[in-house]
Amino acid sequence: MAIPSLDELISFAEKVAAKTKAYGAEEAESYVLWGQSLDAEIQGGLVSIREGETAGIGVRAVIGKRVGFAAASSIDERKAFDTAEKAVKVAQIRPEDPKFVQLPDPVKRESRSGQFDEKILDVTGTDIVKAVKNIVEEAKEVDSRITYVGGSIGLVVNQFAVANTRGINVGDRGTGIAGGIYCKAKQNAEDRTGTESIFSRKLVDFTGIGTTAARRAIESLGAKKLDAPKTLPVIFDSYTSTMFLSLLSYAVSARSVQESRSALGGKMGEKVAWKNFTVKDDSWMQDGMRTAKYDAEGIPTTVKPVIEKGVLKNYLYDSYTAHNEGKTSTGNAARGSGESYLQTPGISPVNWYVEPGKKPLEDLVTEVDEAILVRFSLMGVGHSNYISGDFSVVATNPFYIRKGTIVYPLHPITVAGNVYEALTNIIEIGSDLRLSLTGKSPSILISSLSCTP
């Protein structure tokens, strides 16, 4: 893959910001993104491969307390200047935002880039097709009861630059690769599934994930129905415990707090979780999938505790919410994934990091008399109530625990509760940290949740 110079992108962003001001903006900001991706997939025996390039610019123009935004899926100079002019015209007709103060000033503090693997630049479509075929074939060889296998591997190279007329002119770059596999196993009239995935900033060998996914599908055969609705302890493994972090992300956003839409609003310094629960936003995690030296407004990212020993320590801020409280942004401005230049900044953690315990998952199982183990995947997390914290999700691969032993797999069940109550009802946290798109989290044992067949 041939990639443009990061310095060129930064210089281009500066030029567009200056042009926006020349068109009549009092302040201006330009965000430039360039990326390339390569994906291979096998579904139903059919191989597909996709290669693409993403390039675009988003411009904010400020006139008084009016903020206009325009974007274009191109980094051609003429189109970028046209976009700048459109942003100014939008600002001229926008209503005033009484809470807007200014675009951010440069912030001087230490920050770190994530991993950038030059080897990923040399990967070809032939290489990843071969890798996908390998994991699919190894899954098929596990057991004759495996009836379907689908897999994919994708890689990406991204660079972004941010410049504004208050002196910010920065950028960063990153690489990433991910692979996943999905298997179905059939025994008589019963169908069960198994999955596995790996995320990495560096080139990685995916050998073995097909075998793992297939074995998980086989282990789930012979499932029984939970005999009745019950309130039981539930262990979420390191795959499914990320649900709590997705709901927590909303609650600790300063925007949610300022708009009175967070259950954690006004609770700074208070106990909101189990006494040994610590989670931080680790923007310096070298292998974190979203690690970058700067956020989407060009503010240096930081490492900050959010909940420490059960006590709420920090909310996450972008410049808009920080200015409203006379604070400095925590470096958590984000524009989403994919064609991020099409979006104005919001707030998001960079990488969640849940401090692990000292016991492996197997030991957590031995500590409960009767419980449910939720493994590998959950359905319906996105339908949770992000304001109240209420959730009702489907555990597709649950297991029944009796007297400290996993006795048999269960048919899918519904697990329901409230995330904020669950955080205070943690019994134990495992040692099995796993990297996902959102950071690192281990298994978590909750004392009681509603479980329905």
Among the residue ranges 16-30, 129-143, 337-351, the one predicted with the least confidence is 337-351
Query: Over 60: is that where the pLDDT of 80 sits?
Result: yes
Query: Over 80: is that where the pLDDT of 2 sits?
Result: no
What pLDDT score does 249 carry?
Answer: 95
Q: How many CB atoms lie within 10 A of CB 436?
A: 18
User: What residues contact residue 44 under an 8 Å CB cut-off, 6+ apart?
Assistant: 148, 150
Domains of the chain listed by start with CATH number: 6-219 (3.30.2290.10), 230-452 (no CATH)
Q: Is the Cβ–Cβ distance between 148 and 184 less than 8 Å?
A: yes
How confident is residue 1, by pLDDT bands cut at 50, 70 and 90? very low
* 52-58: average pLDDT: 96
What pLDDT score does 223 carry?
Answer: 97
Listing DSSP states for 139-195 in one string gives HHTT-TTEEEEEEEEEEEEEEEEEEETTS-EEEEEEEEEEEEEEEEEEETTEEEEEE
Alpha helices in 231-282, H assignment, sequence order: 242-251, 254-258
Query: Over 90: is that where the pLDDT of 385 sits?
Result: yes
Digit-coded pLDDT (tens) for 142-158:
999 999 999 999 999 99
Digit-coded pLDDT (tens) for 58-67:
999 999 999 9
What pLDDT score does 140 carry?
Answer: 97
How confident is residue 287, by pLDDT bands cut at 50, 70 and 90? very high
Query: Over 60: is that where the pLDDT of 173 sits?
Result: yes
Query: Over 80: is that where the pLDDT of 134 sits?
Result: yes
Q: How far apart are CA 423 and CA 315, in angstroms?
A: 17
Q: If DSSP codes are grouped into helix, strand and coil, which group holds residue 425?
A: coil
Q: Considering only CA atoms, which of 208, 356, 368, 186 is closest in space to residue 280?
A: 356
Tell me the whole-structure pTM to 2 decimals. 0.94
Digit-coded pLDDT (tens) for 90-105:
999 999 999 999 999 9
Token readout for 276 is 């040994």
Q: Round the CA-based radius of gyration of the chain to a whole number and report it.
A: 24
Largest pairwise CA distance in the chain: 73
Q: Considering only CA atoms, which of 3, 1, 201 is closest in space to residue 117?
A: 201
Q: How many CB atoms lie within 10 A of CB 449?
A: 22
* Percent of the chain scoring above 90 in pLDDT: 96
Digit-coded pLDDT (tens) for 230-263:
999 999 999 999 988 989 999 999 999 999 999 9
What pLDDT score does 211 carry?
Answer: 98
Q: How far apart are CA 212 and CA 201, in angstroms?
A: 22
User: What residues contact residue 411 under an 8 Å CB cut-off, 6+ apart?
Assistant: 223, 224, 225, 226, 453
How confident is residue 338, by pLDDT bands cut at 50, 70 and 90? confident
What pLDDT score does 257 carry?
Answer: 98
Query: Over 90: is that where the pLDDT of 336 sits?
Result: no
Digit-coded pLDDT (tens) for 433-446:
999 999 999 999 99
DSSP-assigned beta bridge partners for residue 413: 395
